[in-house]
């Protein structure tokens, strides 16, 4: 039975690990073990296992033997599909943001874009991923949707 405290811990693992994956802290093909995550997150293996299995069930991670998971390696076709989806979503978001945005929002987007250019010039992959993520969510917020 899941207690309220263990559910909170499981959700913390899910959120934190998901964020680490999105920000590029783990590389495609990298193995993640429950034992190492429990140690890194300073918690018992049970909520770590539950959070990890939730990410596996959503397809974010690939389940492996021995209480571990892998960051999936995407095929060229999967990468092309994701790029196509992102292109459509981000073009739609940019149009909406242009219609509904404010000078402050435009300034934030420009500032993040400049940081991104500098990061790419410095060839800092992890910072690049984090800034792309930040830019995307600033852009989505600028759409003022669903309201």
pTM of this prediction?
Answer: 0.69
State the chain's mean pLDDT as an integer: 90
CB contact set of 62 (below 8 Å; sequence gap of 6+): 56, 69, 70, 71, 72
Q: Measured between alpha carbons, how far is residue 22 from residues 5, 8, 89, 145, 147 in Å?
A: 26, 21, 18, 23, 27
Q: What is the mean pLDDT of residues 11-27?
A: 90
pLDDT at res. 146? 67
The alpha carbon dihedral of 20, 123, 59, 134 has a sign of: positive
Q: Using one digit for the tens of pLDDT, what is the confidence trace for 30-50? A: 999 999 999 999 999 999 999
């Amino acid at each position: 039975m899941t207690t309220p405290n263990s559910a909170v811990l499981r959700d913390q693992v899910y959120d934190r690990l998901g964020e680490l994956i999105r920000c590029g802290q783990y590389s495609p093909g990298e193995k993640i073990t429950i034992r190492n995550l429990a140690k890194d997150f300073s918690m018992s293996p049970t909520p770590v296992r539950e959070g990890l299995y939730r990410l596996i069930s959503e397809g974010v991670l690939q389940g492996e033997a021995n209480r571990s998971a892998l960051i999936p390696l995407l095929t060229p076709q999967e990468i092309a599909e994701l790029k196509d989806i992102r292109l459509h979503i981000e073009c739609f978001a940019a149009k909406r943001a242009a219609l509904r945005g404010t000078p402050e929002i435009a300034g934030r987007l420009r500032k993040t874009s400049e940081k991104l250019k500098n990061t790419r010039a410095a060839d800092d992959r992890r910072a690049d991923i984090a800034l792309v993520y930040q830019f995307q969510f600033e852009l989505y917020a600028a759409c003022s949707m669903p309201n």
